[in-house]
């Protein structure tokens, strides 16, 4: 079923979507440094799986309190894709990369490629079609971030297992972001990560119990704070803002705000992990800010095949119905 009218102006993109995506980027920028802190006391399996196990408990509390309608049909398959990308893929792969010798600053080079990967995934999964100027600005930002983080990561591990793990994490995260944003147009965005976590809880919850029972961690305040952050922040609350922002401004356009994340991550790594900051950091930060501004000014996507935003009452809508917004008809002048 398709509902449309003769006038189809493009609706304005709300600025709140950009702010929400920025908030999500800020939360995620702390993920690698706090993961490194957690690894001082926890095993890679405890950090990679345990964060999902504890976050699933928080997600279950939210769903029990709000009692939203359950996902339907293909939405369950989409939730599995989200879980595979951001509940298992990115957390486990980045944790093992850091455990194998990569530093948070070195890993930032791959995070710098995440916006471009997310834009590609959005084109494939969410139907986004950015304009050419968008891709030019995106490429410039990726180049600036890559040169910056490669310079800072010169003392890190050479090509090897950590690099492969980070590349795989990049692909998994981009797919999870794009699929979650697409699903965030059918479900309330905060419920996307909640349902994804609860869906795989029968696996993550018992594994978490076993992992902590077999190898009790020797807790330190810094490691405990790092684990608490990746569980409640990176794995849970950050996605509330992130998926809401992507659902409003689009996967490609909102994803480019993550060009800021590597620069922020390096700053957090210096503050929390004691990594040195090079003078080029300020210049790169300015270059990235310019590129982010250009991506936001590059215009709306040429077209999108995704359905309209869900109703504000939180109910799911039929994904087979595409609603095209239109301006009200102008009444004819009476003779």
pLDDT of residue 74: 93
CA angle 289, 292, 293 (to 5 degrees): 85
31/329: higher pLDDT: 31
pLDDT digits (tens, 9 = 90+) for 36-57: 999 999 999 999 999 999 999 9
pLDDT of residue 151: 66
pLDDT of residue 320: 37
pLDDT digits (tens, 9 = 90+) for 201-224: 999 999 999 999 999 999 999 999
Query: In the numeric block, which tokens belong to residue 245?
Result: 């922002």
Q: Which residue, 306, 335, 333, 332, is CA-closest to 321?
A: 306
- What distance separates the 2 farthest-apart alpha carbons in the chain? 86
Report the run of H or E that residue 322 belongs to, with start and end: strand 322-323
Query: In the numeric block, which tokens belong to residue 234?
Result: 């990176």
Per mean pLDDT, which range of 45-59, 280-294, 303-317 is the poorest? 303-317
pLDDT of residue 307: 41
Mean pLDDT of 124-129: 64
Looking at the DSSP bridge assignments, the partners of residue 322 are 2
pLDDT of residue 13: 45
Share of residues in the chain with pLDDT > 90 (%): 45
Q: Is a pLDDT exceeding 60 seen at residue 177?
A: yes
Q: Is a pLDDT exceeding 60 seen at residue 326?
A: no
Mean pLDDT of 278-293: 70
Per mean pLDDT, which range of 23-27, 43-47, 282-286 is the poorest? 282-286
Domain-wise residue ranges, the chain: 13-301
Contact 262, 106 (CB under 8 A): no
Phi-psi region of 8 (alpha: psi -120 to 50; beta: other; left: phi over 0): beta
């Amino acid at each position: 079923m398709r509902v449309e009218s003769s006038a189809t102006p493009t609706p304005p993109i709300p600025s709140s979507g950009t702010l929400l995506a920025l908030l999500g980027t800020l939360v995620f920028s702390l993920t690698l440094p706090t993961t490194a802190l957690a690894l001082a006391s926890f095993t890679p399996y405890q950090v990679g799986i345990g964060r999902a196990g504890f976050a699933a408990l928080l997600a279950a509390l939210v769903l029990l309190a709000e009692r939203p309608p359950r996902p339907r049909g293909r939405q369950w398959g989409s939730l599995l894709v989200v879980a595979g990308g951001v509940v298992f893929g990115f957390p486990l792969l980045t944790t093992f990369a850091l455990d194998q010798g990569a530093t948070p600053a070195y890993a930032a080079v791959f995070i710098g490629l995440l916006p471009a990967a997310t834009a590609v995934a959005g084109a494939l999964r969410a139907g986004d079609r950015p304009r050419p100027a968008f891709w030019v600005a995106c490429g410039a930002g990726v180049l600036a971030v890559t040169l910056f983080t490669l310079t800072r990561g010169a003392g890190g591990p050479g090509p090897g297992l950590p690099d492969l793990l980070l590349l795989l994490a990049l692909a998994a995260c981009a797919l999870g972001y794009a699929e979650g944003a697409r699903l965030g147009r059918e479900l309330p965005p905060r419920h996307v990560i909640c349902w994804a976590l609860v869906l795989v809880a029968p696996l993550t919850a018992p594994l978490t119990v076993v992992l902590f029972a077999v190898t009790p961690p020797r807790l330190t305040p810094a490691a405990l704070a790092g684990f608490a952050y990746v569980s409640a922040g990176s794995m849970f609350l950050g996605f509330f803002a992130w998926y809401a922002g992507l659902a409003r401004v689009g996967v490609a356009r909102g994803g480019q705000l993550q060009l800021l994340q590597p620069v922020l991550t390096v700053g957090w790594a210096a503050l929390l992990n004691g990594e040195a900051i090079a003078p080029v950091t300020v210049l790169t930060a300015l270059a990235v800010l310019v590129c982010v501004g250009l991506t936001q000014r590059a215009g709306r996507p040429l077209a999108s095949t995704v359905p309209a935003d869900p109703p504000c009452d939180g109910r799911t809508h039929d994904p087979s119905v595409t609603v095209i917004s239109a301006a009200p008809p102008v009444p004819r002048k009476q003779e």
